[in-house]
Amino acid sequence: MRLEVRESAPPPGKSLCIAFLHESRDPSAGAPVSVRAELAKACLVSGFGGRDTEIAGALTERGGWVLVGLGPAGNPLGKLRRALRRALREALRQPGRGLLLAFGEGIGRTEMRALLREVAQGDYRFRRYKSDEATRKLPREVRAVVLPPPSIPAAELSEAAREAQALSPVIAWARDLGNTPGNDLGPAELARETRSMARREGLRLRVLGRKEIEREKMTGLLAVNSGSVRPPVFLIGEYVPPRAKGTAVLVGKGITFDSGGISIKPAPSMGEMKYDMMGAATAFACLRAAKRLKLPVRVVALAPVTENLPSGSACRPGDILRMRNGKTVEVDNTDAEGRLVLADALSYAGKFRPDVLIDYATLTGAVLIALGHECAGLMTPEEDLAREFLEAGEATRERVWRLPVWQDYRDNLKSEWADMKNSAGRTAGTVNAAVFLKEFVPPGVPWAHLDIAGVAHLEKEHSGFDAGATGFGVALTMEFLRRHFGLSRESRV
């Protein structure tokens, strides 16, 4: 969707006009000045009061207005997003029309920046597998003009709008990867899609096959792959700007389908395990975003990619693996496979001498139980990284919540036969997974782990997001990198 933020409304045309107004005796009082008189008439004619979920329509000199009620001022972003999505869905049913979106007072600056990203992605659809051509065909690009609340100058949001526009196809790419089923997106296909993206964007990409993975002694990746007929790959992408201020290495879990292996998952919702590669999609989407935004930071993206399936050759509970960094791991549960492939990737990351190391993984169901779909779990022993991620999450509204990685939890991973186990039972599952990963971080490298299992995809509509992959983490990471490397505030989301 083409996005433009303006102080005043464009001349009347073919645009569908939508106003988002809070509850009041006169909801139009807080509307953008250039359309306030029109909206006053529209509210009066329709009897619109701005109540929560209220929708009304009215004709003015400009044409038809759709009035969307937000309830009392101070709404959480989820409610604002739901109202916006509902309106965008209706607008996209009317081909050939642009959009004029007017927002009233009571919406803060941070929320407006987040809503701009939602508008830019408002025409995203995944209809690849719909047989009916009319259903499968994507709508043409829509032009959306945004009038912010009067208290927020349009110029203040112009950079955020440009960035939202730049990130929109990047996030759509990651969402497409996640929404593609496992029969069409195995390791080779993910490598092919990533190679095509890197070629288009002018990024470096290297793909390690099985023999190279064996030479690197990535035993965790090979063990998880042993039950699949599809060979693993290890993806290495790199963006190197001139005069880089430092190096960030991003590691993403790339399990293209996770059955649980021998420790097989229950059948209900197992189809959702096609999303277990969203860590890899996020890491490479961030690589692409850094190039598009011309961040002066060297960014390296790494992804160990495989399926996790049961077969006669699959890794068994009780097997002991000697990992890339020399430590031995007893496989207590083959469904705790993500940490095995990430362990090798984190160890490999040391080759790039990173100033900061971040991993993204749909790692544990426990994080969903703890935090739901509202935020990702953040685990890091570094106070500065924690603060920067928490602040970046608030700024972008892709929130994170910090959980501990205290050494006390290390005892949970004790094994009678190896240096550690890969699982420690049901209690503190998210924390135990992070404590396991910490064992493979190169010494002296600042590291943060993001468990995105609750936010990377949704089984059904939630908080204004449609079902499917969300693209969570791209805006968050761009903001984090700016803060961590001391880049200018002007280009922040």
Which residue numbers are catalytic?
Answer: 265, 339
3-state helix, strand, coil in the chain (%, to 5): 40, 20, 40
Task: Report the chain's terminal Cα–Cα distance, integer Å.
Answer: 18
What is the distance between the alpha carbons of residues 10 and 35, in angstroms, rounded to a whole number? 10
DSSP for residue 139:
P
For 74, 196, 449, 475, the CA distances from 81, given in Å and listed in that order, are 13, 32, 27, 16
The residue to which tokens 């909206």 are assigned: 39
What is the distance between the alpha carbons of residues 254 and 277, in angstroms, rounded to a whole number? 4
Among candidates 334, 338, 311, which has minimal Cα distance to 229? 311
Pair 30, 105: CB distance under 8 Å = yes
Torsion over CA: 253, 257, 263, 268 (sign): positive
For 416, counting Cβ atoms within 10 Å of its Cβ (0-12 exposed, 13-18 middle, 19+ buried), the class is exposed
What is the distance between the alpha carbons of residues 230 and 352, in angstroms, rounded to a whole number? 28
DSSP for residue 350:
G
For 386, 389, 400, the CA distances from 382, given in Å and listed in that order, are 6, 11, 15
Q: Return the axis-axis angle of helices 77-92 and 109-120, rounded to nearest 10°.
A: 30
Q: Are strands 328-330 and 320-322 parallel, antiparallel or unpaired?
A: antiparallel
For 189, 332, 360, 429, 452, the CA distances from 305, given in Å and listed in that order, are 10, 21, 13, 23, 17
Strand partners, 237: 205, 301
Residue 247 one-letter amino acid = T
Pair 325, 347: CB distance under 8 Å = yes
Q: Which two tokens stand for residue 432?
A: 């135990």
Q: Give the count of beta carbons closer than 10 Å to the beta carbon of residue 461.
A: 12
What is the distance between the alpha carbons of residues 273 and 178, in angstroms, rounded to a whole number? 10
Q: What are phi and psi of 174, to 5 degrees?
A: -65, -40
Pair 84, 123: CB distance under 8 Å = no
What is the distance between the alpha carbons of residues 467 and 454, in angstroms, rounded to a whole number? 13
